[in-house]
Structure 1
Amino acid sequence: MACLKILLFFLFMNISFAQKDTIFQGQHLRVGEKLESANKEFRLEFFSLDANKTHYIGIFYNLPSNMTLFPGDDRPVWVANRDNPIQYASGNTLTLDDGGNLKIFYRGDSFIMLSSYNVTSRNASATLFDNGNFVLVELNTNGSENKTLWQSFDYPTDTLLPGMKLGRNVKTGQIWSLTSWISKDVPASGSFTIGIDTNDIDQLIIWWMESVFWMSGRWGNETFVNVPRVSHYEYVNLNFVSTEDEKYVTYSVSETRTLSRYVMDTFGFIKERGAAGPFGVCFYKPSAGCVVTEESIGCSIRNDSWFKRSPNSVSGNRFRFANNNMSLFDCKRQCEKNCSCAAFATVTATRTGCDIWSNVSILNSVESDVFILADERDLVPIRNRNSTDVPSTVSLPPDLAPEPSPNSTSGSSKGTSRKWWVWLIAASGLTPFVGFFALCYFLHGKGKAKATALLLLNQTANISKKRKIDKKMSHEVQLYSLESLAIATDNFSPGNKLGEGGFGPVYKGEMPDGQEVAIKRLSTSSGQGLLEFKNEILLIAKLQHTNLVRLLGYCTQREERIIVYDYMHNKSLDFFLFDINKKELLNWDTRFRIIEGIAQGILYLHKYSRLKVIHRDLKASNILLDAEMNPKISDFGMARIFGTQESEANTKRIVGTHGYMSPEYALRGIVSTKTDVFSFGVLLLEIVSGKKNNSCYDSEHPLNLIGLAWELWREERALELIDATLIESCSRDEVMRCIHVGLLCVQDYAKDRPSMSNVVSMLMNDTKQPPPPPERPGFFIERGDQHAEISEEVVRYSINGLSISELRAR
C-alpha cells in the first residue's frame, strides 16, 4: 500500500505542481490554477481583460477579494505574453518542459517560448517569490540551486517593484526598462518607455515614440535633479548603482508600506499605486524635466489648448489612421499636430486606434467618448467693472458654465447687434486667403485645390479662434490634474485629511515645489454640488483681498470636483474659539485683530470688490487663520452676486447654518448685505464670549447667546459676557464697543442694522457720535415665553482649515 501511495504521488507530480509557489519540469499550470508565493504576497495565473477573448499569463499582488483597493491595485505587475495574446481556452497551460524551457501552450501544440535553456532532465524549477519575481533556476543533483537561468525581473513590462532594476548591464547588453500599455485593457507595448540614459549620463529618460519626452536630471544627493524629495515619499528610498558592469536605479520601501509599485501610464505618467508619482508629470502644469519640441507638438497654436470629453457622437470630415496600436495619448498628439483637427477619439472598445475630425458638429446620439477642442464657448466671461487688477475671464470646462442671469437679456441683445460688423471684419481679413484659394483651384486642379483650400481655411479659422482664447486666458487660475493632486495628498490618504464639511473632505497637500495647499474634494454624498463648486471658483478667482482665502486652482478630471487653496496653518477659528484649552491661545489683541480682519473682508465684498457679493454663510468654521493668526474668509459656494444698484433679492433656495442666518432670510428668503451683517454680529458675540450661539444659556428657558447678550445689556451687566480667559488681557472699552456693535448687527429688522462701512468705523472708534442703542435682536426668546422653541443643530467643527456649510432644507 505504501508503495502505491508513493507511485501515485510521483504520477501526480507529472500532472500538476507539488508546491504552490513552484513548477517543476514536466508540470503544468492550467487555467483556473495559480502559483502563490510562500507568504502569499503574489500570485501567478492566467487572466483576461476583454470578456474572455484573449488570454495572458500575469503576476498580481495576491489581494483578498473583499479588500478595498486603490486604483490599479488589482492590475498585473507583470505580463508574460503582453505582445502575444492567445485565444481564450480552458486547455491553455504554462509548462516547464523536460528541456527546462518555460512555454505557454495553446490550441494544442502551439506555444509561446518564455525562456530557452538546455538543462539536464529534471534539474530545473520555476518559483514565484514574495518580492514578485518569477525565477527559473537550474538545480544540482541534491536539489540545491546551481544557477539562475531566467527571471521575470529581467523582463519588466510597465511596472517597477521594490528590488527591480531600471537601467542596463553594460557587459551583457541587458536592458531593464518600463514600457506603457496601449490602453488600460490592452497590455501590449505602448508608446512610452522609461530607462537609463543611453549617453552614459546618470539620469533617467522617458521616451515617447523614441523621442525624449522627460529627463530626470543627473543623480546627486540621493535623488535626481528634477525629482524633488517631497514629504509624502519619505517611505521610498531611491538608490542609483553604477559599476563597471551595471548602471541602474532601484528602490526600497519601509516595512509599513505595502503594495508599492511604480507604473508607466499610457499618458507618460509614472504612477505610484494609481496616482502620478513624483516625476514624469508633463500635463497641465508640467514638471521640471519635461521636453516639449516643435516636432512633438507640430501646430504652434495648440501649445495651451485642451480638449473636453463628450459622450456624444460627432459628425464632420473624419480621417482614420491605419495603425490600430495607437494609444489615446498618441491620438491626441496626432490631433495637436494637425491645425485643422477639432476632435479625436479612439477606434476600438479597448481605447486603441485613432480617428480625427475637422468641422465638428455634435450629434445627440451617444456613441463613444470623443474629445473635442475647447473654444470660446468653454470660457466663462465675467464683466470687468472699473478695475484692472484681477483677470476678467476664468477658464472653466463647459459643464461648469454658469446659468444665464435673469438680468442678462440686454447684454445679450447688445452682443447680437454687434455681430454684423464682427463678421464684416472677419470677412475682410479672409479676403486675401479666398483669392489665394481661387488661384490654387485654377493652377492645380479642382480636387487638389479643394483639399488645399479646405485645410488652409480650417487652419486660418482655428488660428483666429485660438488667438481669441489665448487673449482671454492670459490670466487664469491653475487647472490641476487629478494625478498631481493625488501625489500631493498621498492618494488622499486619511493621514492627510484635515477635516470634513458639507462639501466633502479637505486634505493637506504638498506640491512638488514644496508649497503647502489645502485640497477640498466634493463628496458623492454631499448635499452640495456643481452649482456651489463653480460659484466658488468664479467668485474667489475674481476677488483679491488680504482677508479672503486665496484660490490656487481646481480639478474636474474623471468626474471629480476639487478646489485647491492656500494652506492655513492654524486651521479655522472654531478650532480655537470653542475649545476649553485652545481658546487661551486667543488673547484679546488676537481676537480684536480677527474681528477687524473679518469686518474688512466683508466690507470689501459688499462695497469695494468689482462684484457686489453676499457671502450668506459666515460662521466661525469658515474663518481660516494663517500662520500669524490673520483671518481669511472662506467657502463662497453659497455666495450671491448682486448688481451694483441691487439692494436685496428673494431666493427660493435658502442655504446656510442655523444660528447665523438673519430672520428675514431664514423665514422669507430675503437676502441682502444686511444678511451678512447679522451673521457678522453673531460671530462678533461668539469671539468676545467664547460661546456658541446655538447653545442654551438658561437652565429653564431656551436662551441662546444672542438672547443672553441682550439680557445682560438691558441689565447693564454686558461685561459678564466676556470670555473668562480674557479678563486679564482685554481692554474693557474695546470689549463694550464690540458687544454694542454685535447687538446692533443682530437687530430683528434689517433696516435697523448698520452697514459694514459703519460697522468698521464703530469698531475702530472713528465715529464722532456714539453708536445708537441697540433694539431687540432677531431670534430672541423672552424668558417668560414658555412655548417658544429654538431650532438646534449639531455643529461640526473643522479640524482643518477649510470647512463647508451644510445645506439646510426649509
Structure 2
Amino acid sequence: MSAKRSTRNSLVLPLIFLSPFLFHYSYGSDSLFPGQSIRDGETLISAHGIYELGFFSPGDSTKRYVGIWYHKLPILTVVWVGNRENPISDSSGYITMDEQGNLKIMDGKGTSFLLGANNRSTNITSATLLDSGNLVLREMSSSGNDIVWQSFDHPTDNQLPGMKLTLSTSSISWRSTSDPRPGNFSFGIDPNGTDQLFLWNRTEVIWSVAVLNGVNFSLVQDATVTLPGDLDGYTFIHHWGSGYYYYTLADSSIITRGFTDHEGRHKQLAWLDGEENWVTFLVKPNEHPCEVPSSCGVNGLCSNDSSVMCTCLFGFEPNVNKHWDSRDYSDGCIRKVQSECMSNGDGFLKLRNIKLPIFSSKDRNLSLGIDDCKAWCTKNCSCNAYTSAYLNRTGCSFWFGDLYGLQAGADEVQDLFVRLAASELKKHSGNLKSCELALINIGIALCILGAFLCGCKWRKAKVRHRKEENDFDCSSCSFATIAACTNQFSDVNKIGEGGFGPVYKGFLEGQSVAVKRLSSSSGQGLEEFANEITLIAKLQHRNLVRLLGYCIQKEEKILIYEYMPNKSLDYYIFDSTKGAELDWEKRFHIVEGIAQGLLYLHNYSRLKVIHWDLKSSNILLDSEMNPKISDFGLARTFGQNENQANTKRVMGTYGYMSPEYAMNGLFSVKSDVFSFGVILLEIITGLRSTDYCHQDGSENLLAHSWELWREGRCSELANPTIGDMHPFDEVQTCIQVALLCVQDIAADRPTMSDVVSMLRCEISSLPIPKKPAFLPARSVGREDFRKHEIHSLNNLTMSIIECR
C-alpha cells in the first residue's frame, strides 16, 4: 500500500484529467480522488491501518450509515457517523466526489447527501482518512494540500485525542445503540465563556468538569489513574486554547476515546490488548448524586459522605422547609439576612475543599491578585462570590446571582469566597473563632513543641512566623468546634477505634472529616503527636492519608484527617460477608496502592520514612477503594544514606513485626517490607496474622503459607470470597512475593522497588523464597521479652518493650 501511495503522490495535477484510469479505486487506500467512489462493502483505511471508513449498520438496525471505526480491533467501535440523520435503506449506497469537489453519499435512487463541503474556489479536492481518525477534504494545488473540511469539526458521540471541542461543537450522544441520530445528551464547552466542560441533558447541566485553573481542570485528576498492564501511569494532557479544548496522551500508542453515551454519562475508555476489550476508567456522573449540580438546588451544599446529603451554606436556610424535611432539595436555599452591600459593609466567608459553582465569569487579567478580586466583587452588589482564576493566584472568577452546583469534600485548590451580610459573618466568626482547616507543615509541629516543651511565647512565635510567611498560621481548631462537629464525640459519630484512641466522623468547613481523639491512656504522648504532624505534613502521595488539621487544648490532642468512607482494609478482608465485596481485581489494586505508598516513603519522599507500624487496620480505603496508609505516630525518618538503626524501645504490633526488630531492636526499610508481606498474605487468605490458628498445627499464618507453597498447594491459600474467576497466576505471584518479603534474614527480602516490579511482572523470573520468620504469636513476650509497660486498646499495639 505504501508503494501505491508513493506513486500517487508523485503524480502531477493534469494527470487527474488526462489519465483517469490511473485513479481507479484500490481497496485499502486511505484516500479518495475525483472520479473515484467506494461502494457499500468497500472501505478506506488510514495509512498505518488504525482507522477505517465505510458503511455499517448499528445494533439490530438494517439501515446503512457511513462511519469511521477502529480497523484492527475485534469489536466494531464506531467513533464518527457522517449521515446520522440521513441513513440509506439498503446496501446500494456509495461515497463519491462531485464536479464541485464536494464529498457526497449517494443511494441507489440517485439521492445525494452532502458529507464534506468544498467551500474553496477550486473544484480539485481529495478526501483522506488520517491515522488520527480525522477524515479531511483537501484542496489539491501546487501550494500544498489545504484542509477545506474535516470530520473533527463535526463530532458525533466520541472525542478522540486531538479532536477540538469548540464553543459551537460538542459531542452528542446517539438515541440508542441502534439509532445514531442525535440524542438528548451532549458534552462540550460552556458557551457562556466560563472555561468549563459541561454534560447536558438537552439544556440542563447534569455534570461539570469544574473550572480550568490555568493548568488543568480541577476535577479531572480522578481521570489520571493508574491502570493495569500496558496502561500503567496513563495520563491526560489537557490543552485549552481560545475557545476550544482538546486532549492528547503522554503515550500516543494507547488507544483511548471520550464517549457520551445515550444514557447520559460521559466516559473515558482505553483499549487493553490483554483484555481484548474496552476498559472504562472514568464515568461521570457516577453513582454519587452530588455530581449532578441540581441535586441540592441553588446555594445548597451537597456531600456524598454525610448522612444528610444536602445542607445550606452558612448564612442560608432552606427555601421551602417542608420539602427539605422530606429530602426534596430542589428548591435550594435562600439568604437568612439579605445583603446590604455597600451600606453596612458586607464581607466574604471563605470556603475550602468545595467544588466551585458552575456559571462563573472570568477576568483573565494576570496582573490581578485575590485582593483585587475581593475589591471588585465588594463594589459590585450583584457579585455573590469570587476566587482566583488560576493556580498562580492571578486573574479572577466571579459568580453573580445564586450559586449552583456546590459540592463538599472536593479536592479543589482555590478557595471560594461567598458574600454574607456583616451580621452573619459576625456569627460565623463567633462560632468558629480561629479554626481554619489547612495542610500542616513542619512549622506547626515546631510551634507545638516549642509551646509545650520549651515554654516559648506562643503569640510571639505566631506573629514572627506570620511576618515571614503570609500563609502560615500556628493557630489550631478549637476543642469546642471539634466537639460540635462530632456531636460532642457521640457514639453515633464513632467510626473506629485506633491504637491510640477512638476516631469520629465530623463535618467541618464544608467537608466530612475523620477526627482522631488521642486517649490519655494510649501511650502516645506529645512527642508521637508532634511526630505524626511533622511527618505527614511533608508527605504528599495519593496512597497516603492527608492530615487536614489538629487541636491541642489542655490534655486533649486531636488530629483531623480526610474522611475515608470505606473504613479500613481489615474491615473487609477478615469478614466473610464484607470480603465478598472485594474481588481479586480490587484486592490487587489495593496491594499495588500500598506498595506504591511504601515505595514513596522509602525512595521518593523528601525524607526516607519507615512507617514502623504497618498493618491492615492502618490501611484506609477511600470512596473508590483506593488504599491510603495512615497512622504515622511511630514513623521514623532516615538520612538518604542511612539504611539501618537500633532502638531499645520496640513498638509495633505482634504478627506484623520483623524478627530482627522484635528480637534485637534493629529496624530498616526491610522492617516495612516484612509488614507488607504479612498484609499481602492477609489480603490473599482472609486470615488475620495476629490471632491465627490452623488445624494443620502451623504456628502462624507465615508457617501455614510457607508449607502450602512448598507443597505446591497455593490454590488452597486463596480465600473463597475472592471468587473462582481470579487469575491464578497473578495470585500465585502475589503469594511468592509475600513469602519473599517475610524471609527471616532482612538482607534476603526485596526492596519495595523490587516488589513493585515483581507485581507488574517486570521481573520475568522471581527468586525462590527462603524459610520465613516463624515468630510464635502467643509466646513472644513471655519467653523472649521482659515487658515493662504496655499501652494498648486492642491488645495488639505495644508501646515499650525492652530486649533482655
TM-score over 0.5 for the pair: no
The structure whose RCO (Cα within 8 Å, separation 6+) is larger is 1
TM-score, normalised on structure 2? 0.43
Greater Cα radius of gyration, structure 1 or 2: 1
TM-score, normalised on structure 1? 0.43
